[in-house]
């Protein structure tokens, strides 16, 4: 049986119609599929406690690239060069990370995903390396 790999979705708008959607980059989905896994997209639920029904069924989590994390999560002020964050996405991913790490589930963070895991585990980020490092 193929392992089920959860991929949290981001909020976006469909080009043209501007209808609100949840989604993620196809490249991540196809990479999981090519590696033998079955990608499961996890939408932003209104009630995150409902994740308790889904997460135990998964075999791993892929935290993908995307928008900036909210600077207050690592004790910083938003830098002028930082893009807008999505607090709902931050909460979704940190909720999933909390569960996955507690359950010793395999996780992979790519770009934003690695930054989120760093912040979740108490790390800090440079928002603009040129001016802050």
What is the predicted pLDDT for the residue at 84?
83
What is the predicted pLDDT for the residue at 57?
97
Q: Structure pTM?
A: 0.92
* Residue-wise pLDDT tens digits, 100-129: 999 999 999 999 999 999 999 999 998 877
Q: How confident is the model at residue 33 (pLDDT cuts 50, 70, 90)?
A: very high
Of 108, 18, 16, 120, residue with least CA distance to 63: 108
d(CA 46, CA 50): 9
3-class SS shares of the chain: helix, strand, coil, % to 5: 40, 20, 40
Q: What is the CB-side half-sphere exposure of residue 48 using CA atoms within 13 A?
A: 14
What is the predicted pLDDT for the residue at 98?
97
**What is the pairing mode between strands 20-23 and 38-42?**
unpaired
Least reliable range by pLDDT among 4-13, 53-62, 74-83: 74-83
Residue 83 has pLDDT above 80, yes or no: no
Residue 133 has pLDDT above 90, yes or no: no
């Amino acid at each position: 049986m193929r392992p089920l790999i959860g991929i949290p979705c981001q909020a976006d708008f469909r080009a043209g119609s501007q209808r609100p959607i949840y989604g993620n980059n196809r490249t991540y989905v196809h990479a999981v599929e090519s590696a033998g896994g079955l990608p499961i997209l996890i939408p932003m639920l209104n009630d995150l406690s409902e994740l308790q029904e889904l997460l135990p069924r998964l075999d791993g989590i892929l935290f993908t690239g995307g928008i900036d994390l909210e600077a207050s999560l690592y004790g910083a002020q938003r830098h002028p060069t930082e893009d807008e964050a999505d607090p709902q996405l931050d909460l979704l991913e940190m909720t999933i990370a909390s569960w996955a790490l507690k359950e010793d589930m395999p996780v992979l963070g790519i770009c934003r995903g690695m930054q989120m895991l760093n912040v979740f585990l108490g790390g800090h980020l440079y928002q603009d390396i040129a001016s802050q490092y």
